[in-house]
Amino acid sequence: MNSASGNPGGEISQKALGEELRELVDVVGPGPLVDLLMERSFQLNATDIHFDPTETGLRVRLRVDGLLHDVLDLSPDLMQHVISRIKLMANMDITERRQAQDGHIANAVLKNQRDVRVGSGPTIHGERLVLRLMPDHSRLNDLGELGFEKDQMEIVQKYAKASYGMMLSVGPVGSGKSTTMYSCLELLNSTDKSLVTIEDPVESRMNGVNQIQVDSKIEFGFVEALRGVLRQDPNVMMIGEIRDPETAHIGCRAALTGVSVLSTLHANDTTSTIDVFREFGIPPMFIADSVNCIISQRLMRKVCKDSQEKYKPDEATCQMLGLDASKAGKIELVRGIPSESNFHTGYSGRTGVFEVLPVTDRIRDGILKGKSHSELREIAKKDGMRTLEDVARDKVVRGESTIEEMHRILTTFN
């Protein structure tokens, strides 16, 4: 997912897409309909397509900029044909409708190497499918395009280029963690280094990088892959996600023995990552010495550039943004105007909101002394760390996004 960019397919409106698909339904079979839907979804930078069965047919929705949008309702007689078409493309068992299945459509969309992951499962109204549209691996994001503030960028680049240690990106599902780690990996991708990734699944193919996909069916998981890779002289290793204590232990040991480790983790913010590692049973000395930088992130929708307006904030808004309310008459904020070009949301595209914590001597000392999440957070803020809320406020004041969007991203994962 090109999380930080605008929408190059923005000229395709929700209404126009629905009309185009409905017209196609009347003249062609499910094959061309599915092909066009996926093609248009990629053009819109959608990340997922949902096919939800209902009492009256099949509801089709696209996830664009993090939110789902209705685009089409298919009749019951077309429903099973469309489901079967997608399952055939994904090499799934079309006769099995009672069990959840996973499938994969490789290199089948837009005649390039875009992949589609397919998941199916039963509901009371029939079989449901969700298609995950994998990113365009030919267009990797540069770190500078993701939305980092200038001072944050300097910290990330410094620690990404360290010869050893672990850099982590944390946040909820769909917050752009993998995109950030891929961008760091691309920064380090050079002929004089051995770079390896261990993923489930491999999200973007990268030239010059040895990419490994784990496979639970043959008991080849992150732990088994990690042990093998560490015997293969890596300089840089990206672990798709740290999910369990054993993976965390091996990753920390690798970071202490001369390997630069990149990974993602589910945690609410930078300092709560330390608590997750403690829960995994990692000794404080290992945490303090192996982890060198933690990035917490969210994705914030950007105000549509083609359909927006300026307005004067009220006193309450100024207070929430840390602005002088007495000067509200001189302050201008921006909000989007819902229109066909932005799926009637007023937003188009997303930008990253980041909290970057370098593990300094003071933070390291706090970890060794067992200081709490809140105590570590206070140390980090005194050392100059800008919180997610601080950065989100700045983006609203600069007119990149809105206060409503700031509230949404800061309250969806606590």
CATH architecture of 14-133: 2-Layer Sandwich (3.30)
Give the pLDDT band of residue 414 (cuts 50, 70, 90). Answer: very low
pLDDT tens digit sequence for 136-192: 666 667 888 999 999 999 999 999 999 999 999 999 988 999 999 999 999 999 999
Long-range CB pairs of 323-329, under 8 A, 24+ apart, other chains included? 323/397
Residue with tokens 């008991």: 219
Query: Are the C-beta atoms of 385 and 270 separated by less than 8 Å?
Result: yes
Strand partners for 197? 211, 238
Residues of the chain with CATH 3.40.50.300: 143-305+310-411
pTM > 0.85: yes
Nearest CA to 22 out of 71, 94, 62 is that of 71
Shortest CA distance to 128 belongs to which of 39, 69, 68, 51? Answer: 51
User: What's the topology of domain 143-305+310-411?
Assistant: Rossmann fold (3.40.50)
Residue 337 tokens read as 């105007």
Span 172-184, pLDDT tens digits: 988 999 999 999 9
Residue 116 belongs to what H/E stretch? strand 114-123
Please give the Cα distance from 294 to 233 (Å, whole number): 25
What confidence tier does 111 reach under pLDDT thresholds 50, 70, 90? low
- In the chain, which segments carry CATH 3.30.450.90? 14-133
pLDDT at residue 13 above 70?
Answer: no
Question: Is the pLDDT at 366 greater than 50, yes or no?
Answer: yes
pLDDT, tens digit (0-9, with 9 covering 90-100), for 295-333: 999 999 999 999 999 999 988 899 899 988 777 778 899
Structural contact between residues 149 and 386, judged by C-beta atoms closer than 8 angstroms = yes
